[in-house]
Amino acid sequence: MPKATHSAEYLLNQLGELSHELSSRSLQGQGHFDKPLQIVNNVMGFHVGVLYKIANAIENDLILEVVGVCSSEHQRPDLEEGSKICLDINNPPAEFINEVMAFKRRSVSAVNVPGWGCDIVGSIYMPESLGHGYLLAGDFFGEESDIQTYEVRACEVMCNMLSAVLMKAQFEKLASIDGLTGLMNSRAIREAFEKAFQRQKRKNSGLGAVVLADIDFFKKINDQYGHIQGDSVLQEVGMLFDSFTRKHLDVAGRYGGEEFLLIYEDSDARQVLSIVERLRQSIAGHPFKKIGPSGNPIHGESLPVTMSFGVARLQYDGVTSSKELLAIADAALYQSKEDGRNRVTLGQALASAN
């Protein structure tokens, strides 16, 4: 049975819809791959549409991860989402010839593969510094896939669109991420705090808190062990903060130097104090890597690190600006330092409003 396809005009209209969708939707997540997979499967007439993530390329090995499969039936059990495929770039199996060729050429490869094996594969290119990119593929199970020139061009256009969207998303992410800790950078976390403060003013829910945190005796760590050790501590603190950040609920960022800012919008003060106390304990009990003179971790040795925290509610009678609110959190942080460090303090002015 020949491959069922739509006209070039219809395919062109679908590409127009894809362009509009990619330009109007959020750049986060992988939803921007849904429409291209549907076009491969439903419009171009392939039995299976496949999206591979190029997990790695090491010497002669190409490692692909299956991250999306579009099919009316489960027709390629070898392509389970999440499964990984290791291919020899110089001598790939016949059913994966197009995947390897598309990767090597950074373009579309459309060699007919009878039976199992994708008959068209396009490269969604990304610079290596941003990741290795993706492959968009289609498999027709008949003897002759009968791929038209306009379908090859359509695949090329889709891959170029997706490449541009992915690179834009990555560059936007890099612009807001602190390269050392992996958390929001100072500009991004300050903007997030201002937005959270304004939202709470409008909602008037009484929920939410902001937390200022500071690494205790960080200057001594730098002075005694060097800046490589200091950077290592900052990296591990960033990792711990991220592990205690509830996705889509909380926000954490590096406020500056060894100071961090956390924002909890939909939690009451008691809940925030509980979360931050667990974070404080986790940091105090964490074996931070001790860096030797060579710049490498010393096996079996660790460095004790603690942090102090100041908490302020996002909403408080008489507070009219985010600067005032931050001053309350800063005063609470200072109180934690004065009381011996390695503790969490709720700002006195806010506590009196209970």
pLDDT band at 351 (very low <50, low <70, confident <90, very high): very low
- pLDDT at 173 > cutoff 60: yes
pLDDT score at 25: 63
Q: What is the CATH number of domain 186-351?
A: 3.30.70.270
pLDDT score at 205: 80
- Which residues are the active-site residues? 258
Q: What is the mean pLDDT of residues 64-90?
A: 88
Q: For the beta carbon of residue 161, count every other beta carbon within 10 angstroms.
A: 20
Reply yes or no on domain 8-169 having CATH 3.30.450.40.
yes
Both structure tokens of 103? 């990767």
Strand partners, 261: 212, 253
Q: Are 52 and 64 in contact (CB under 8 A)?
A: yes
pLDDT band at 251 (very low <50, low <70, confident <90, very high): very high
Q: What is the mean pLDDT of residues 27-50?
A: 85
Q: Mean pLDDT for the chain?
A: 90
The residue ranges of every structural domain in the chain are 8-169, 186-351
Is the whole-model pTM more than 0.85? no
pLDDT: which is higher, 130 or 245: 245
What angle is formed at CA 103 by the lines to CA 128 and CA 27, rounded to 5 degrees? 55
- pLDDT at 350 > cutoff 50: no
pLDDT score at 115: 87
pLDDT band at 72 (very low <50, low <70, confident <90, very high): confident
pLDDT score at 353: 39
pLDDT band at 29 (very low <50, low <70, confident <90, very high): low
